[in-house]
Amino acid sequence: MADSVMTESIRGIGKPAANSRTAVLLRRATMASVAVACVLIVFKAAAYFITGSVALLSSLVDSLLDSLASLINFFAVRQALVPADREHRFGHGKAEPLAGLGQAAFIAGSAVFLVVESVNRLVNPINVSHGSVGIAVMLVSLALTLLLVAYQRYVVRRTQSLAIKADSLHYASDIVLNLSVILALVLSAQLGLRVADPLFALGIAGYIIWSAVQIARQSLHQLMDHELPDADRARIMSVCRRHEAVRNVHELRTRASGMDIFIQLHLELDGNLPLLQAHRVADEVEQELRREFPNADVIIHEDPAGVEEGARHQERE
């Protein structure tokens, strides 16, 4: 039975969810998002009351929801950064996809409101006044949104945060939205095409619904422990197999939780390897995996090569 002894290499329990630099980036990104949303709400509200444009109203509603979603993100990211503890051995990363689902619900709700308001304006069209004021406000909004999205994408590249990625996604959609509102104001206020305003608002509502679906899908993948993309799984297999002592790899399981990912696998090694040497091989493979995936929590089980999994279970029984 000595040849069938198997050891597990389990690491990472109790490690911080993120290092201090990552935590600073995430907090700054959430605060920047809240600040930009609040500024845009004030500007767009004033412009809507001056112009009466339903397309501008759609942008205002979107900013209101952005501010609420950003506040949700602020608290979700704070919770996700809490290190693993006795009651939450896998950390608190699921707070991020939960926040993503909340964002998706708010965004979808705003789209329904815009559809109703736009249809009403199609049936009962009104003239858009002071279009130049609305255009000026939307140009300022466009500039602020571009700066925020650029910073958020920088943070996402550094942290892989789903909450910030979701926030960035709907702010990126705001860029298209702002351009659409500007065009709608030009056509409605400057050229007198009253139907353009509600039609553009309907198009914006459709785009908002699409964004909500994307955010919800990504969030549900994490909450349901969806496997990492095939490309990442292939990288994991490649890292393991390039170690000279590894005969094969099986039972690979992966999932993501916020910024962290979890990797579980079985390494097939020479059955005659001493226990200490097999453990050393697992350590070396784990170190290579962590170089490829810095936020990975790795569990490695060492198996003797050539022994069927069912046979090993029978031996244990």
- Name the domain count of the chain: 2
Residues 71 and 209 in one domain: yes
- What is the enclosing helix (H) or strand (E) of 148? helix 131-159
212 inside domain: yes
13 inside domain: no
Residues 159 and 289 in one domain: no
Kindly tell me if the per-residue pLDDT of 44 is higher than 80: yes
Higher per-residue pLDDT: 302 or 259? 302
Picking from 165, 196, 223, the residue at the C-terminal end of a domain is 223
Residues 103 and 203 in one domain: yes
Residues 60 and 201 in one domain: yes
CA angle 162, 166, 169 (to 5 degrees): 135
Kindly tell me if the per-residue pLDDT of 177 is higher than 60: yes
Q: Is 242 helix (H, G, I), strand (E, B) or coil?
A: coil
CATH for 295? 3.30.70.1350
Q: Which domain holds residue 74?
A: 20-223
Residues 235 and 217 in one domain: no
Residues 268 and 291 in one domain: yes
pLDDT at position 190 is 66
Average pLDDT across the chain, whole number: 76
Residues 168 and 275 in one domain: no
pLDDT at position 3 is 37
The answer to whether the beta carbons of residues 202 and 113 sit under 8 Å apart is: no
pLDDT at position 246 is 93
pLDDT at position 219 is 80
Give helix 54-80 / helix 95-123 axis angle, nearest 10°: 170
Query: SS3 sequence, 279-314?
Result: HHHHHHHHHHHHHHCCCEEEEEEEEECCCCHHHHHH
Q: How confident is the model at residue 129 (pLDDT cuts 50, 70, 90)?
A: low
10 inside domain: no
210 inside domain: yes
The answer to whether the beta carbons of residues 281 and 316 sit under 8 Å apart is: no
Residues 113 and 237 in one domain: no
234 inside domain: yes
CATH for 25? 1.20.1510.10
Alpha carbon distance 200, 58 (integer Å)? 10
Kindly tell me if the per-residue pLDDT of 103 is higher than 80: no
Residues 149 and 95 in one domain: yes
Torsion angles phi and psi, residue 240, rounded to 5: -65, -45
pLDDT at position 266 is 95
Residues 146 and 134 in one domain: yes
pLDDT at position 175 is 79
Closest to 203 (Cα-Cα) out of 110, 114, 95, 98? 114
Residues 263 and 162 in one domain: no
Indicate the DSSP class of residue 228: P
